[in-house]
Amino acid sequence: MKSICKSFPGVKALDDVHFSIHRGEVVGLLGENGAGKSTLMKILSGIYTPDSGEIQFEGKNVTLNGPKQSQNMGISIIHQELNLLPHLTVAENIFIQSLPKKGLKLDRKKLFSEAQKLLDDLGFDIDSRSLVEDLTVGTQQMVEIAKALSFQSKVIIMDEPTSAITEQEAAKLFQIIKTLKEKGIGIVYISHRMEEIYEICDRVVVLRDGCNAGEGDSKELSPEQIVNMLAGREMSQIYPERAKEHGDRVVLEVKEFTRKGTFEDISFQLYEGEILGFSGLMGSGRTEVMESIFGSTSINSGQMWIENQEVKIKSTRDAIKYGLALVPEDRRHQGMVGEFTVTQNITLSTLKKFSGFLQKVNFRKERETAESYISQLKIKTPSGDTVISNLSGGNQQKAIIAKWLESKPKILILDEPTRGIDIGAKSEIYQIMLELAAKGTSIIMISSELPEVIGISDRILVMASGKITGEFKKEEATPEKIMLCATKGV
Ligand SMILES: Nc1ncnc2c1ncn2[C@@H]1O[C@H](COP(=O)(O)OP(=O)(O)OP(=O)(O)O)[C@@H](O)[C@H]1O
Ligand SMILES: [Mg+2]
């Protein structure tokens, strides 16, 4: 790709960018949220047309008119935003563009058996007959991966493929990447996780504000050099120091929460101003426990107290009334209104605060609040009036988190809060979490990133197969100890 330029209203997303990939090479494409990574790759996969620039494939100039053409040429993409059709089965999603037919009718037997074979060969434990809507985000991501691998590709683009899967599944994916590489397939790998880049990439290419900011052999670049290219500045400490110890008053107590087949006997206490980390593998039941505390799903047995008062939360409305807030894992579907502006999304859950006499919204105040989050979290957007779905993936995440931070709940539950967010903005989110905690908000954070859980929590509970299998104070937690508990009985 040579001299690629692409503008959207109010943003120059790519400015004279060059990019290349060889047979059998794994190239890490890096950059902060909004740097232009997905846009560049959407151009390569025929989804966007560049304003100017040239693309050569196997030595020939090509014009890519649409994704189909790009795919036929041998370029496939695993999208950052999951693109599956929720009401169809896994198998139908995988073969959507070339469904096997028997005469004019769909050959269901062949469809399911071929899809199952593909999944089994990849070592993915997924039933090809399941409906996509019944799968967790992580499993959906694995279906996307299987789908991209079902084409005869020469170049496979993976846009943050590990953002929702566990370390174990990621290890499986890396194994697959190695095999693909040996077959001569080129892989573009987008990720915000530095360790992964070192593990699998031969070369890294860094974008910053839509321009090339540097590239090099991954073995020859130090993490500091890469971070410097990413941000154009030195990064100080990622995990901010905790200024104040948490209180000793119990704010939330959960006792023997059980939902048959999902989790069992979950008991814990949460203190005022505490940050309690929930670690574990995907599918260990963490999200489900939080959903039941928040009243979006029910339990078979168990009790719960908020500030020493027994409460029975039957709906999310009850939960909000008791001062709970939950930032869901699947933020794109559960957390935002795509056609609303950034400002409207940030102030969505707190509109009441901005409404005065006769429910009239105070637009000035609404705007000021949104602006302060936009600058604090460095949300990259032309303005607060931009429609949120036009933001880059990571910047959408930041806006949705801002919404919940603004609701200033008594108990804030965050499910994988920094997934897909660049290092700089992660640090800002940690800072805000600490500030909220210092003001007395109690926080539960589910995170699959061990350095993050250890770096930010006061205390860590580990779950495996629906049970709590370990508890550590910040000082005693190590990645090894946590992993040991996380894999107990798995
Ligand atoms: N369809 C669109 N309409 C308007 N602006 C867009 C559109 N797609 C991307 N942009 C803008 O282009 C810029 C680059 O976005 P892009 O999605 O390529 O970033 P990214 O590097 O993939 O970031 P992230 O790490 O957050 O996924 C951003 O400022 C984004 O808001
Ligand atoms: Mg992106």
CA of 394 to the centre of ligand 1 (A): 9
Specify the pLDDT at position 233. 62
Q: Does residue 240 lie in a domain region?
A: no
> Are residue 348 and residue 460 in the same domain, yes or no?
yes
Q: Does residue 89 lie in a domain region?
A: yes
380 CB within 6 A, ligand 1: yes
| CATH number of the domain where residue 12 is located | 3.40.50.300
Candidates 285, 289, 399; CA nearest to 345 is: 399
370 CB within 6 A, ligand 1: no
Q: Which ligand is nearest to the CA of 30?
A: 1
> Are residue 119 and residue 221 in the same domain, yes or no?
yes
390 CB within 6 A, ligand 1: yes
φ/ψ bin of 95: left (φ > 0), alpha (ψ from -120 to 50), beta (otherwise): alpha
Atom of ligand 1 nearest to the CA of 380: 29
Domain that holds residue 30: 2-231
Total tally of structural domains belonging to the chain? 2
Q: Does residue 282 lie in a domain region?
A: yes
394 CB within 6 A, ligand 1: yes
> Are residue 306 and residue 417 in the same domain, yes or no?
yes
Last residue of a domain, one of 231, 265, 295: 231
> Are residue 192 and residue 326 in the same domain, yes or no?
no
> Are residue 280 and residue 417 in the same domain, yes or no?
yes
> Are residue 324 and residue 442 in the same domain, yes or no?
yes
Which residue has a Cα nearest atom 19 of ligand 1? 34
> Are residue 182 and residue 276 in the same domain, yes or no?
no
Specify the pLDDT at position 13. 94
CA of 26 to the centre of ligand 2 (A): 18
CA of 423 to the centre of ligand 2 (A): 14
> Are residue 407 and residue 332 in the same domain, yes or no?
yes
Which residue has a Cα nearest atom 6 of ligand 1? 390
Specify the pLDDT at position 148. 86
Q: Does residue 236 lie in a domain region?
A: no
> Are residue 223 and residue 295 in the same domain, yes or no?
no
Which residue has a Cα nearest atom 18 of ligand 1? 36
Last residue of a domain, one of 200, 231, 262: 231
50 CB within 6 A, ligand 1: no
Atom of ligand 1 nearest to the CA of 392: 17
Last residue of a domain, one of 204, 231, 258: 231
Q: Does residue 385 lie in a domain region?
A: yes
CA of 30 to the centre of ligand 1 (A): 14
CA of 199 to the centre of ligand 2 (A): 21
Atom of ligand 1 nearest to the CA of 422: 25
Q: Does residue 239 lie in a domain region?
A: no
Atom of ligand 1 nearest to the CA of 31: 21
Specify the pLDDT at position 266. 97
Specify the pLDDT at position 414. 93
Specify the pLDDT at position 62. 94
> Are residue 299 and residue 406 in the same domain, yes or no?
yes
Specify the pLDDT at position 483. 87
> Are residue 83 and residue 167 in the same domain, yes or no?
yes
Q: Does residue 245 lie in a domain region?
A: no
Test site for ligand 1: of 5, 14, 38, most ligand atoms within 8 A of the Cβ? 38
Which residue has a Cα nearest atom 17 of ligand 1? 392
Q: Which ligand is nearest to the CA of 207?
A: 1
CA of 401 to the centre of ligand 2 (A): 17
Q: Which ligand is nearest to the CA of 391?
A: 1
CA of 21 to the centre of ligand 2 (A): 19
> Are residue 224 and residue 273 in the same domain, yes or no?
no
CA of 332 to the centre of ligand 2 (A): 13
Q: Does residue 244 lie in a domain region?
A: no
Q: Mean pLDDT in each 10-residue stretch from start to end of the chain (490 residues)?
A: 94 95 96 92 95 95 90 89 86 88 87 94 90 85 86 91 76 88 94 88 95 94 86 69 85 96 96 96 89 94 96 91 86 78 87 63 84 89 93 86 84 89 82 89 92 92 95 92 84
163 CB within 6 A, ligand 1: no
